[in-house]
Amino acid sequence: MPTSVAALAAYQSKDFKSDLKPIWCPGCGDFGVVQAIYRALAAIGRAPHDIAFVSGIGCSSRIPGYTTAYGFNSVHGRALPIAQGIKLANPDLLVLVASGDGDGFSIGGGHVPHAVRRNIDITYIVMDNQIYGLTKGQLSPTSPKGLKTVTSEYGSLEEPVNPLMYMLAYGAGFVGQGTPADMAGLADVIEQATRYPGFSFVNVQSPCVTFGEDDDQVKDHRANMKSLASLGHDPTDRLAAMGLAQGYGTDLHTGIFYKNPNPPPTFDAQMRVRQAELAPKALPRERILDMFVQR
């Protein structure tokens, strides 16, 4: 007889932790993110071999390698298209995508609205640190205006993008945010995003301790974060979510901004219906060329 909830669970966090030692700098926010992902995956209970975890390039994109899932550490900015191909080829898989602010909103930004509108059931986790860490401290698309970096010696002249507003405006069915300063909250948002039937997005404010603004970011997060639930936010209210999302860059809201209470059918679900409908019309493969015979 099982004596505890933990014993009942098919998987525990440690089942998702690989033997690889992360290359991240000591204190990097991404250590917390990967822990939160282990927890979320354990709670969901799918076997590691039924999970495909895709990433692009950047510090954050090393994450799949630190899990025991199938991973694909691909090229810069292209994780989303690859992940969509995986999910359509095998809709039974749980498909996660990890990205950073540069990977996701700069070089790969063009893929985002299409991934959202296609509504393939994948979960997109962006580790947003407002800087290019792997290449040692250049301006990122979410860097605040005026930020001085090695490529903006005199302060950036550009407004940052607002990932939360983007996603809400594109029509994402699930938009959440978390920080490694609140591990339990972050794991919960990731778990809920993964359970959402459709495209889901989690923005993680994951501090870069090496090239970020200062060394006390996690402490600052802990002091300043406001849970959306505690603010009484109704996550089915998309307009209210947009109102709160405008605080991106100054406020640190955690939890669920928006979750569509009536999720529309996903692309992958519709694909299966169509395949089943059309299957009876298939010619045997060896007779495919018959359609070219002039009769």
Give me the residues that bind other proteins (CB under 8 A), please: 20, 47-52, 54, 57, 62, 64-65, 68-75, 78, 80-90, 92-93, 110-111, 113-114, 271, 274-275, 278-279, 281-282, 285-289, 291-295
Of 110 and 155, which has the nearer Cβ to other proteins? 110
| Strands 51-55 and 253-259, bridge-based pairing | unpaired
> Smallest Cα–Cα separation from 37: which of 46, 209, 241, 290?
46
Cross-strand pairs, 99: 126
Of 11 and 70, which has the nearer Cβ to other proteins? 70
CB of 92 to other proteins, least distance (A): 7
Residue 118, number of CB atoms within 10 A of its CB? 16
CB of 110 to other proteins, least distance (A): 6
Note whether 190 and 178 are within 8 A (CB): yes
Q: Is 257 helix (H, G, I), strand (E, B) or coil?
A: strand
Q: Amino acid identity of 241?
A: A
d(Cα 189, Cα 32) in Å, to the nearest integer? Answer: 14
CB of 161 to other proteins, least distance (A): 18
Of 31 and 70, which has the nearer Cβ to other proteins? 70
CB of 55 to other proteins, least distance (A): 10
At 4, list the tokens: 């505890």
Of 102 and 235, which has the nearer Cβ to other proteins? 102
Of 85 and 247, which has the nearer Cβ to other proteins? 85
CB of 141 to other proteins, least distance (A): 18
Q: Amino acid identity of 4?
A: S
